[in-house]
Homo-oligomer: A and B are copies of this chain.
Amino acid sequence: MINYIPLLKTVPLFFDIEANDLSELLNCLSAKIKTFQTQESIFSEGDSAEFVGIILSGEAQIVMDDYYGNRNIVASLTVGHLFGEAFACADVSILPVSVIATNETIIMQINYKKIITTCSNCCTFHNKLIYNMLRIVANKNVMLNQKIDVISKRTTREKILSYLAIQAKQAGQNSFSIPFNRQELADYLFVDRSALSNELSKLSDKGVLHFHKNTFELL
């Protein structure tokens, strides 16, 4: 656990909490560390929504499958990312999504009730944790709105350009990499992969953008 303190200090959930206090706090929260192999379920749809997780190493994806078996990538998770917090904080008892490890992945698992229930030892931290959690959930909220803004576009072309424009803005330059391969980008945009490739080719032909693998340049 101690080994992860430097990483955990960078996690937004523990923002403004000193490294010295963090170790004690983790004990107080009964934080557990678990390891998962590639494709293994960290959380499964239908599980009780009482835990939040933090990626300590590896990668994972939050996915939602519909009736027809189409897998919808809700988000990609990398080191330091928090997941499950929205459902734990909301009036939701059962998880409607799964979290799947895409590599060998180590996570820290915390029971949400431990976060919001003050205790005799370290209750001074709890309010700070709740406040941090609020910022985190609100930021995810904003990101979800942003995603809705992207996928609300009617055509594949508009979705692509809308998504890439946001990525370029976040990168601060016209050349940038995205965290998806073609299939994952297609899933994120809710379009067909081949149609996506097709449209990317057309955009490249028209000189609107250049791309190579997952690196793009808007012109």
C-alpha spacing A190/B86, complex, angstroms: 25
A133 at the interface (CB under 8 A from B): yes
Nearest chain-B residue to A192 (Cβ)?
A: B154
A122 at the interface (CB under 8 A from B): no
Contacts A127-B127, A130-B131, A134-B133; A90 near B141 (Cβ below 8 A) = yes
A149 at the interface (CB under 8 A from B): yes
A151 at the interface (CB under 8 A from B): yes
Q: Are A72 and B152 in contact (CB under 8 A)?
A: yes
Q: How many copies, total?
A: 2
Q: Are B96 and A135 in contact (CB under 8 A)?
A: no
A: residues with CB less than 8 A from B are 64, 66, 72, 74, 85-92, 96-97, 116, 127, 130-131, 133-135, 137-142, 144-145, 147-149, 151-154, 190
A-B contact sample (12 more), CB < 8 A, given A86-B141, A90-B142:
A66-B149, A66-B152, A72-B152, A85-B138, A87-B142, A88-B138, A89-B135, A127-B130, A134-B137, A140-B141, A144-B148, A154-B190
Q: List 29 A-B contacts (CB under 8 A).
A: A64-B149, A66-B149, A66-B152, A74-B145, A74-B148, A85-B138, A86-B145, A88-B138, A89-B134, A89-B135, A89-B137, A90-B138, A90-B139, A90-B141, A91-B135, A92-B142, A97-B145, A116-B131, A127-B127, A130-B130, A130-B131, A133-B134, A134-B134, A137-B141, A144-B145, A148-B148, A151-B151, A151-B190, A152-B190
